[in-house]
Amino acid sequence: MATKTITFPDAFPDSATLMCNIQDTVTYSWALQNFTEYNVSAWLNNFQGEIFPKEDEERIALWLLSNYTHYNEKEVDHLCKNLYKKFIHTYVNDQSLTEKTLLKSMKDFCYIPLGSASESGGFIAYQFRKQAKIGIDRFFFLTENTSINGNVAIFIDDVTLSATQAKDPITDFVKNHSFDSVYLITLISSSQAEKELLQNGIKTISCIEIDEKNQCFSDQSILFHKFPDLLDPVKDFCTHYGSKVFSNYPLGYKDGQYLFGFFYNTPNNTLPIFWSNKNGWIPIFERKEKIRTDARIWRTFEKYI
């Protein structure tokens, strides 16, 4: 039963308008297949009027969904191609190279996906390699004991929003090798993570840099630029339902508060009301969790035995 009321500004779109906008976005921007109004309705049914009246909660949810950014496969390929160009341009400037010396230096490039081959870093490395047309012999994995022949380490991941997730595995790996330069190339990075990584000798190159303006409920949030009075009530709404499905971080990992995802997975820094499947929650962009231990693998398959 609703415990609060919410007053929407006159300019705030109604649910019917929002649904039409979302249908157009799904068709012309996200290019999602087998994604229908049923998917949206099933997700909306999670919101049972526990904070505001149900129809108002659904209106909030639809508005958040209409501001969500979904990167489809074509867009990810485009980002990977641009990322390679940006890295080469940066490296040439850093080293003051000519075309001839660049070609020679490229023989020393070591591309290293963060995580294992089955994780997002490995997936993006595959997409990146296709777009950049780089030989597979220049790719190495942190989990392999393969000898590395090269002095420029180029780590790859899809998003770098919290520096810790990249800093620890990179510094642990680099200290056991002799690299002249260390880079992290990523589709999306936060300005704060870039600063922290640079302090540890890791230069970040990304296609898209985000900051507090991209966090839903920060003081600088662009999401509420037109509707500042809605920031606190919408935050209460997201916190309440987020705590049901991701209790430690109801607004996303490390309080991410982001609104984006990719065709292959959704970062846990994004609001969990979009991606969690815990406690009977029906996600609209389900996150595929990592299975790291034999015990978790056993629990996953136990139900089939």
- Each residue's pLDDT tens digit, 30-42: 988 888 889 999 9
Phi, psi of 185 (to 5 degrees): -110, 135
Q: How confident is the model at residue 5 (pLDDT cuts 50, 70, 90)?
A: very high
The answer to whether the beta carbons of residues 225 and 110 sit under 8 Å apart is no
Higher pLDDT, 117 or 251: 251
Q: Which fold has domain 73-210?
A: Rossmann fold (3.40.50)
Query: What digits encode the pLDDT tens for the residues 45-103?
Result: 999 999 999 999 999 999 999 999 999 999 999 999 999 999 999 999 999 999 889 99
- Over residues 97-110, the mean pLDDT reads 92
List Cα–Cα distances, 204 to 189, 292, 293, in angstroms.
Answer: 8, 27, 30
Q: How confident is the model at residue 43 (pLDDT cuts 50, 70, 90)?
A: very high
pTM for the whole structure: 0.90
pLDDT, position 115: 80
> In whole angstroms, what is the distance from residue 187 CA to residue 231 CA?
28
Give start-end residues of each CATH 3.40.50.2020 domain in the chain: 73-210
Is the pLDDT at 295 greater than 50, yes or no? no
For residue 21, how many C-alpha atoms fall within 13 Å in the half-sphere facing its CB?
Answer: 14
